[in-house]
Amino acid sequence: MISTLVLAMTADGKIADGSRSPAKFSSPQDFRHLEKQVAQADAVLIGAGTLRIHGTTMRVLDPELIQARVQQGQAPQPIQIVCSRSGHLDPDLRFFRQPVPRWLLTTADVEGKEFDRVLQISNGQDIDWQRAWLELANLGIDRLCILGGSEIATALWEQDLIDEFHLTICPWVLGSAAAPTACDGRGLKMPHQLELINHQVIDQEIFLHYRRIIPRSTTIS
């Protein structure tokens, strides 16, 4: 399974402001870029925090992108997988009325009747991400698009489970030490080196596409 993190970031490295309100700094161009990444995925992973704040998830809207998926034998929409320790999400969120398949990835023993599938994969406290990745691959997910937010991205960087990273740099400065970034937490034990495989400047934004470099010692010859 290839997992790709897709985020937009301000010029001072923030993915939201200090009160974690929905980001308003990226352009329609970036929205379109995000939609394309979602359209390429079998499933999308989103943190419960992001979902609570935004109320909805990113789905494929462009009829041409939907048609391309169907022609390739994919479902019209990727599965939306919500990650939550508690498993508690307000059933009145607009997300539950969006026409998308919904899965819940959780540590909790919850019924999750608003979801098409509940994956309870726990290491006692957190999601057991390594086991979750194996399970998702076993369930036929080859391409996973990770939409954040910061807590989920941090957990996945820590677990070394991000293969590619699409980062849009937007021309804003937000400030605030409390504002989330693409990787918070206490610092990675093993910093990841990335290789830039594509970049594009469109109007005021820079679109970067990175691939994680696998350390030489762990490559299989």
Residues in contact with ligand NAP by the rule CB under 6 A: 7-8, 15-16, 20, 22-23, 47-50, 53, 83-86, 88, 107, 126-127, 147-152, 155, 180
Distance of closest approach, residue 172 Cβ to ligand NAP, in angstroms:
11
* Cis preceding-peptide flag for 149 (omega within 30 of 0): yes
How far apart CA 61 and CA 29 sit, in angstroms, is 14
Q: Which is nearer to ligand NAP, 40 or 50 (CB)?
A: 50
Q: Which is nearer to ligand NAP, 79 or 146 (CB)?
A: 146
143: left (phi over 0), alpha (psi -120 to 50) or beta: beta
Distance of closest approach, residue 114 Cβ to ligand NAP, in angstroms:
14
Q: Which is nearer to ligand NAP, 35 or 68 (CB)?
A: 35
Q: Which is nearer to ligand NAP, 19 or 71 (CB)?
A: 19
Please give the C-alpha separations between residue 143 and each of 20, 37, 82, 116, in angstroms, as whole numbers: 28, 10, 16, 19
Distance of closest approach, residue 83 Cβ to ligand NAP, in angstroms:
5
> Which residues, in sequence order, are CB contacts of 30 under 8 Å at separation 6+?
8, 168, 170, 205, 207
Q: Which is nearer to ligand NAP, 28 or 73 (CB)?
A: 28
Distance of closest approach, residue 50 Cβ to ligand NAP, in angstroms:
3
Q: Which is nearer to ligand NAP, 54 or 143 (CB)?
A: 54
Kind of pairing between the strands at 102-106 and 194-202 = unpaired
Which residue has tokens 């400030």? 175
**DSSP state at residue 115:** S
Distance of closest approach, residue 209 Cβ to ligand NAP, in angstroms:
15
For residue 101, how many other CB atoms are within 10 A of its CB? 15
**DSSP state at residue 127:** B
Distance of closest approach, residue 63 Cβ to ligand NAP, in angstroms:
25
